[in-house]
Chain A
Amino acid sequence: MQNPNNNGTLAELRGMRFARGKRVIFDGVDLDIRRGQITAIMGPSGTGKTTLLRLLGGQLKPQAGTIRVDGQDVPRLRTKPLYELRKRMGMLFQSGALLTDLSVFENVAFPLREHTDLPESMLRDLVLMKLEAVGLRGARQLMPSELSGGMARRVALARAIALDPMMIMYDEPFTGQDPISMGVLLKLIRHLNDSLGLTSVVVSHDVAETAAISDYIYLLSEGRVVAHGTPAELRESRSQWAQQFLHGDPDGPVPFHYPAPDYLEDLLAGGEAR
């Protein structure tokens, strides 16, 4: 693990514990997001990957442990500094989360209008530049309801980079995409990360695609980091867990069966028990 004062780390989690009611979602997670890299966080559905992004963005607070982003202790920040920090963090939601009553142009202009006082002509140029970067300058007049899922995510991406953030968090960017928009998104994530000098966090369970663009991967299961390393290291890893997840085996450390009483006993119980 890296030294917390190391400039190479933009965000770090130490011993982070988070529970919803009695359900423990994270129990002692240690994780580093390195500057300039694409860090992937993978794991089966329901491991709280999206929750992790919300914790990083300060929308949820952990019960224990620390979350630092750019040297700031996120859960302890008051509203104002937290909002200042969020201006430098973009987040791409799974659904895109575009404002449905605004056009594509206005959606991308939204954070600029809210946080800056730019003259209209400069604002227009900025929005068009961001839309050009995701290839949708021509779609500026469309409403969100007229966009395909992939296009909506690209608009959301343009909006996420509108304020030139230091970091972007992607929540399941590839879910439900056809191969072409998947390819477009992969290219955009890698390209934007390198050309804008961003740091990216990609939460996903699309193994092959995510592994292809990421520099470092964390595998989560049952509230813990079960394996981490570069994609090449993980492929070589002896961790049974990593092997099951990367190859998509139906049974292994993550069992095929949901925990249940003994099969034979269950069958012989007859109609008395449900």
Chain B
Amino acid sequence: MINLLAELGRRALDFFERLGRGHLLLLSILWRQAGLVPRFWLVIQQIYSVGVLSLLIIVVSGLFVGMVLGLQGYNILVDFGAEESLGTVVSLTLVRELGPVVTALLFAGRAGSALTAEIGLMKATEQLSGMEMMAVDPISRVLAPRFLAGVLSMPLLASIFSAVGVLGGYMVGVVLLGVDEGAYWSQMQASVEIYEDIANGFIKSVVFGVVATWIAVFEGYDAIPTSEGVSRATTRTVVHTSLAVLGLDFILTALMFGD
């Protein structure tokens, strides 16, 4: 019993210690963002590897999610004779929820794990120590540009996801199932609000971008510098990001739409 309590206490202490280290790292990354202005090419390189290389998986998933929404939405709406509202259903679901959330989950799997593995391996192969000894701060040179690139990429990827999803819904609903094309677009136009829906979805994706990239960068930097340590850190990135994104999504949704 005492052992159990001791173990519980030890784990809680470890958890809070890591949480503290994570926040300190986030602060020092944010503190160093100003230094990226004169060397923005570092951020652009990272936007390529974090954002552009994630584009394919985002587009393909967005298309399929939109197609499924079109099909499911149609099947339910047609019972009520309301299939003209398909555009509204597809676009609101994507813009408010699935766009930011699914993008963040895919981002964790594609870009987050790659970031963790890259930084963890740089640590394991002494590249980060090497930089420190060359008087180059690894947080400003390696972590800060990757963080900013992730935060900038996520809302863009989420908007692309939603846009492609709307097209997927159109392909299934209008082209295959025969919903009126004018109704699909005009209902969408009439019901999607710029602040209520688009801006709130955008805020969500920015928050997810910060959280997902922060976790990925921290796990890499904090990884035990061995091959086992790096592989564990990579797994943790995906698991923690997914949980954080889903939990935060509920909180944000409650704050934004819970009136």
Chain A residues with CB under 8 Å of chain B are 54, 57, 59, 83-84, 86-87, 89-91, 93-95, 97-100, 110-111, 114-115, 156, 159, 163
Contact = CB atoms under 8 A, between A and B. Distances in A.
A86 B134 contact: yes
A86 B125 contact: no
A114 B136 contact: yes
A83 B129 contact: no
A146 to B, nearest CB: 16
Interface residues of B, number: 15
A84 B125 CA distance: 24
A89 B133 CA distance: 8
Contacts of B126: 93-95, 97
Contacts of A94: 126
B130 interface: yes
Most chain A C-beta atoms within 10 Å of own C-beta, residue among B130, B133, B137, B141: B133
A83 B127 contact: no
Nearest to A162: B134
A260 B36 CA distance: 56
B136 A100 contact: no
A84 B129 CA distance: 16
Contacts of A83: 135, 137
15 contacts: A54-B129, A57-B132, A59-B133, A86-B132, A87-B134, A90-B133, A91-B130, A93-B129, A95-B126, A97-B125, A99-B131, A100-B122, A110-B136, A114-B141, A159-B134
Contacts of B141: 114
Contacts of A159: 134
B136 A111 contact: yes
Contacts of A163: 134
Given A87-B134, A114-B136, A159-B134, 14 more contacts: A54-B129, A90-B133, A91-B133, A97-B126, A97-B129, A97-B130, A98-B127, A100-B122, A100-B125, A100-B127, A110-B136, A111-B135, A114-B135, A115-B135
Contacts of B122: 99-100
Ordered nearest first, which 8 A-B pairs have the shortest CB separation? A97-B130, A83-B135, A97-B126, A86-B135, A91-B133, A87-B135, A93-B126, A111-B134
Contacts of B121: 100
A167 to B, nearest CB: 12
A237 B141 CA distance: 49
Contacts of A100: 121-122, 125, 127
Nearest to A114: B136
Contacts of B134: 86-87, 110-111, 114, 159, 163
A86 B135 CA distance: 6
